[in-house]
Amino acid sequence: MAIPKVEPENYEALLAEKKAWVEQEFSAFDIPALEIYESPREHYRMRAEFRTWHEGDDLDYIMFEPGNKYKHTKLESCPMVSERIHDVMFALLDEIRPNEQLRRRLFQVDFLSTLSGELLVSLLYHRAIGEEWAVEARKLRDKFNIDIVGRARKTKILLERDFVLEKMPINGREYTFKQVENSFTQPNAVVCQSMIEWALDASKDAGGDLVEFYCGAGTFTMPLAQNFRRVVATEISKTSVHAAQFNIEVNNVDNVDVVRISSEEFSQVLMGKLKKRRMQGLNIEACDFTTVLVDPPRAGLDDDTVQQVKEYTNILYISCNPETLKTNLQELTKTHNIQRFAVFDQFPYTHHLECGVYLTRK
């Protein structure tokens, strides 16, 4: 991964540049004043992946120069990662370095942490690992009070858990989210809180039922359920669907159904063009879907989903790519007006940012 240069003294100026860019990029639309949500200046990233570099018996984290896989720099500090990760990552490497079982052909270390202090570490190898590795890895687990997963080709070794449980306060209520190793989670937890609270506020008077595409493990789904009579959420990843079902139960949410189906197929189901066995028993016909929530990947919404989204009175669009958001808005604003536009600085010190747009039918 490329590590941004963390310069807290320059944060305000960099954020102002992003704001100005968004205002210029979306100037063709009738947008309201931007709502800006800042990131913590340091220790904001809850998950991170680091390549390792072997030099004899030495072992270090490295970062590659952008666009150059042959030029790298040794990593000696990393103020972007959460304090929990930073407190462990270098001491962990000190324990791995002299241990042949743990060090040999280790090529990557992944970290997943939470605001509540849990930490999961995945060690990735270019060799077979087995029980001898597990014996040494358990010592690491006990020393640092962490969960550890070992990965090699066609092999995954769990010492205990392959997930963490995030405890996130949202508008005064604490939600628990199961976050599974090697699946998508929001990297900046503090900004994620702001995103959820913004979505709650934007949709507070929507009423009716909510349909959600790309729900992941239900990070938005669980809190937003309070604004609607019923929520039907879709997700294609089996791991994320299982995590979402766990999150429904642990948070005592009783008005959410999660279906494992792609957004494209679900759009066709709602339009009556497709029947899927997984949809049986949901009684979709009885739903009054006033609002749709979409949080698509960087590619944005496909054409069929855009047309389906236009059918709803309210559209809540969370975007990780302003370029594809702009493209989708060119079509969505033919039928809807932009009521609110938020910028979430999920990735400070980089050009990346997330946007939230709330639209209502003209």
One domain for residues 156 and 192: no
One domain for residues 217 and 336: yes
Is the pLDDT assigned to residue 158 strictly greater than 90? yes
Cα–chain-centroid distance for residue 242?
16
One domain for residues 70 and 158: yes
Question: Could you tell me what percent of the chain has a pLDDT over 70?
Answer: 97
Q: Considering only CA atoms, which of 37, 3, 4 is closest in space to residue 19?
A: 37
Is the pLDDT assigned to residue 233 strictly greater than 70? yes
Give the residue-averaged pLDDT of 121-130: 98
The tokens describing 322, both together, are 């302003």
- 93, 121 in Cβ contact below 8 A? no
- 26, 341 in Cβ contact below 8 A? yes
Is the pLDDT assigned to residue 301 strictly greater than 60? yes
* pTM for this model (two decimals): 0.92
- Cβ-based neighbour number of residue 48 at 10 Å: 21
Angular region, 308: left φ>0, alpha ψ -120 to 50, beta rest: alpha
DSSP secondary-structure letter at 81?
B
- Cβ-based neighbour number of residue 296 at 10 Å: 20
The tokens describing 345, both together, are 């600085």
Output the pLDDT for position 280: 67
Q: Where are the beta strands (DSSP E) in the chain?
A: 35-37, 47-55, 58-65, 68-74, 106-113, 119-125, 147-152, 155-158, 163-170, 173-180, 209-213, 231-235, 256-260, 289-294, 314-319, 336-344, 354-361
One domain for residues 130 and 27: no
Instruction: Report, as residue numbers or ranges, the catalytic residues.
Output: 320, 354
Output the pLDDT for position 281: 65
Question: What is the chain's alpha carbon radius of gyration, rounded to the nearest angstrom?
Answer: 22
- Write down which residue in 112, 129, 163 finishes a domain: 163
Cα–Cα distances (Å) from 343 to 69, 171, 269, 352, 354, in that order, read 32, 19, 33, 11, 6
Adjacent-strand bridge partners of 232: 211, 257
- 16, 74 in Cβ contact below 8 A? no
DSSP string computed for 270-286: HTTS---GGGTTS-GGG
One domain for residues 12 and 67: no
One domain for residues 217 and 333: yes
The parent domain of residue 132 ranges over 47-163
SS (H, E, C) 223-266: HHHHHCCCEEEEECCHHHHHHHHHHHHHCCCCCEEEEECCHHHH
- 134, 105 in Cβ contact below 8 A? no
Amino acid at 13: A
Is the pLDDT assigned to residue 111 strictly greater than 60? yes
Is the pLDDT assigned to residue 267 strictly greater than 80? no
Helix (H, G, I), strand (E, B) or coil at 167: strand
One domain for residues 218 and 332: yes
What are 334-353's pLDDT values in tens digits?
999 999 999 999 999 999 99
One domain for residues 15 and 101: no
Q: CA 180 to CA 161: how far, in whole Å?
A: 9
One domain for residues 211 and 354: yes
Q: Considering only CA atoms, which of 258, 250, 168 is closest in space to residue 215?
A: 258
What are 21-71's pLDDT values in tens digits?
999 999 999 999 999 999 999 999 999 999 999 998 899 999 877 777 777
Q: CA 203 to CA 274: how far, in whole Å?
A: 29
One domain for residues 144 and 275: no
Is 102 part of a structural domain of the chain?
yes
Is 52 part of a structural domain of the chain?
yes
One domain for residues 349 and 208: yes
Is the pLDDT assigned to residue 261 strictly greater than 90? no
One domain for residues 149 and 94: yes
Is 2 part of a structural domain of the chain?
no
Output the pLDDT for position 52: 96
